[in-house]
Amino acid sequence: MVLAMDVLKARIKEFNEAIANLPDEDSDYLHYFGIESTGLASAEQLNELLPFFDMEVPAYYQQIGGLRNDSEDYHLNIPSVSTLLEELKAERNSDKRYSMGLIDAIKHSWGNDRPEFQHISPVEIDYINANYKCIGFYRYDGQLEEAFYIYFDAQHQFGLARYHQDEFDELWEEHLTPMLTKSQADKSLEQLLIQVLDCLEEGIMNDLDED
């Protein structure tokens, strides 16, 4: 029997081993690209976070916790529950996460400075925030103007929404508008995060092969 998240834990270990075994002894690739846990959630923290979800909080937070690395080129950022609570309680607008909703998460990652959303109906924004929660994002190939947001629906199916700062229409038309009628999420969290790790590792290896 495979225990909860054991496959993902093994994939994270494999990812870090692959990075650590890169041949350039002068470069600390593991420090830069390696994925590290940023802390498991306590039962008390989960109870405090629950009202912000309006749906079941993923057990992931007590099994894996937050995940992140220091790379800007191939960056993964899944905040821990303690970090989420700090952001949800923040007073300064640029720091504050206004909810766990997908659109609020996208805006938060840009310091809440995404005026494009002002042209979208508040009813539609509220619907997406209420029905799709975001746990984090990743960036690929040094594209600091772009991120892929990891979200889930009420059935705890997970998906990705891509947003480039110069391509808001694509975000709205291809990712968010379909969510108003039907969830586009079709993977378990473990499946999706393994896909993300596969993507990041392939990108890192390809970049280093070209150097």
Per-residue tens of pLDDT for the chain, all 211 residues: 455 689 999 999 999 999 988 877 656 888 889 999 998 999 999 999 999 988 888 889 999 999 999 999 999 999 999 999 999 999 999 999 999 999 999 999 999 999 999 999 999 999 999 999 999 999 998 788 999 999 999 999 999 999 999 999 999 999 999 999 999 999 999 999 999 999 999 999 998 876 5
User: Would you list the domain boundaries of the chain?
Assistant: 6-210
**At how many degrees (to 10) do helices 81-89 and 43-53 cross?**
50
Residue 190 CA neighbour count, 13 Å, CB half: 14
